[in-house]
């Protein structure tokens, strides 16, 4: 395993290029299973989750070739079984269920693993697939879906914490090859869902309404190969924006989509951070006085849960009391105890973290519990006086492409060391 050793106290300065979106590329890679023809994806980030997904596609019978930041998948013949050994490390692997059902009408996929950030059941995925006519059973840790015939249907996919992103993706991918019209009510509105719909439409699917709560899919007989560029990662962009603000630096984010970051930009401006942006870049200046704010995570277009831990670090530097309420995942405060090791003053009451700001952080060894907690601990290390060692950064490598190299180019003192 590796750790990051960070010597804090340096403002981040310069430019950083945002990579392709992890949460977009994983379902799009899965969607290549829907056609026998080759598909090429560009701006594919070099992440461990992407590597896992490519291994899954290969094990299912697809030919996968990576060349630079492009990946070509040719799924001429595929099988419908994804075993536990393949999918246990990554929750996103469940998104092969929809395309395998659509393509083969019979699939068996192990229940997935992933970050420990609370219960994330797939009941809404299965509800949607049942609505298309699939027979669904769960036995010995596997989901089995079978449907001699898939037929379009109207369904509601809202859950206790709002719409399901991967559930919406799974149903879309199964429905594109179903007979008739499928309407998803309370669909996820995330940009990653829109990117998947754009990819499927380029393959010959007929999807409308992506990005709104109602998505309509008219089934087609077959899909064809296509080339597609993955959208920028809005969570990576949010992470670097918060890091620039927390270190009181100035960073320009290149090849990002500010229109995907309205909630983050709004909250940072409320904090006192100066932001200017155009169509595909954004400059963040953290040299003004910071103010405490209240943040509540919500489904898109609200403030993203995946940027909650990072904002919490920024709030430790703002005078006053900030309230951060988590409404998407009930166990997403596992980073709080590690931030306390650096000197943060944070109290948890139910779904809310109470952050006492203007706190001087000091370096210490800390342990990452999940992907976004890792990013928060890195930001805290950049702010803290002295040396911080972030352990178990395999979490970080799941979602941030070469983050240590990018930070060094911004002037940070960051070293990757083998434990």
CB 262 within 8 A of CB 300: no
Q: Of 95, 115, 189, 256, which one is the catalytic site residue?
A: 115
| Distance (Å, whole) CA 75 – CA 57 | 8
Q: Where are the alpha helices (DSSP H) in 138-181?
A: 165-175
Helical (H) or strand (E) element with 281: strand 281-285
Gyration radius of the chain's alpha carbons: 21
Burial of 149 (0-12, 13-18, 19+ CB in 10 A): exposed
What's the CA angle centered on 336, arms 411 and 415, to 5 degrees? Answer: 25
For residue 178, the number of C-alpha atoms closer than 13 Å in the C-beta half-sphere is 31
3-state secondary structure 44-106: CCCCHHHHHHHHHHHHCCCEEEEECCEEEEECCCCCCEECHHHHCCCHHHHHHHHHHHHHHCE
CB 110 within 8 A of CB 116: no
Is 115 labeled as catalytic in the residue annotation?
Answer: yes
- Active-site annotation, residues: 115
């Amino acid at each position: 395993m590796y750790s990051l050793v960070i010597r804090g106290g340096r403002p981040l300065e310069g430019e950083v290029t945002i990579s392709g979106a992890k949460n977009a590329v994983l379902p799009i890679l899965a969607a290549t299973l829907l056609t026998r023809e080759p598909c090429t994806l560009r701006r594919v980030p070099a992440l461990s989750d992407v590597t896992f997904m490519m291994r899954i596609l290969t094990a299912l019978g697809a030919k996968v070739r990576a060349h630079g930041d492009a990946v070509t998948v040719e799924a001429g013949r595929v099988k419908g079984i994804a075993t536990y050994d393949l999918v246990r490390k990554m929750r996103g692997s469940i998104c092969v269920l929809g395309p395998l059902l659509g393509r083969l009408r019979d699939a068996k996929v192990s229940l997935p693993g992933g970050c420990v950030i609370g219960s994330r059941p797939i009941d809404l995925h299965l509800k949607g697939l049942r609505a298309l006519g699939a027979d669904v059973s769960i036995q010995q840790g596997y989901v089995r879906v079978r449907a001699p015939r898939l037929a379009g249907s109207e369904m509601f996919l809202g859950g206790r914490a709002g719409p399901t992103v991967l559930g919406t993706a799974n149903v879309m991918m199964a429905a594109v090859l179903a007979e008739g019209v499928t309407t998803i009510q309370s669909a996820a509105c995330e940009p990653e869902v829109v990117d998947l719909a754009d990819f499927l439409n380029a393959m010959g699917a007929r999807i409308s309404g992506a990005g709104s709560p109602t998505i309509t899919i008219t089934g087609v007989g077959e899909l064809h190969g296509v080339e597609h560029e993955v959208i920028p990662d809005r969570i990576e962009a949010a992470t670097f924006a918060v890091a620039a603000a927390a270190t009181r630096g100035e960073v320009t984010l290149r090849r990002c989509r500010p229109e995907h970051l309205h909630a983050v930009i709004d909250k940072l401006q409320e904090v006192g951070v100066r932001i200017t942006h155009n169509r595909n870049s954004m400059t963040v200046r953290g040299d003004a006085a910071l103010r405490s704010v209240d943040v509540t995570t919500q489904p898109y277009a609200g403030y993203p849960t995946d940027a909650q831990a990072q904002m919490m670090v920024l709030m430790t530097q703002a005078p006053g009391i900030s309230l951060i309420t988590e409404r998407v995942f009930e166990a997403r405060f596992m980073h709080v105890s590690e931030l306390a090791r650096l000197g943060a003053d944070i109290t948890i009451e139910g779904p809310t973290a109470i952050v006492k700001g203007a706190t001087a952080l000091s370096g210490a060894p800390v342990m990452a519990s999940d992907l976004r907690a890792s990013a928060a601990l890195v930001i805290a290390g950049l702010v803290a006086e002295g040396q911080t060692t972030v352990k178990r950064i395999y979490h970080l490598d799941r979602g941030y492409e070469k983050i240590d190299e990018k930070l060094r180019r911004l002037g940070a003192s960051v070293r990757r060391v083998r434990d």
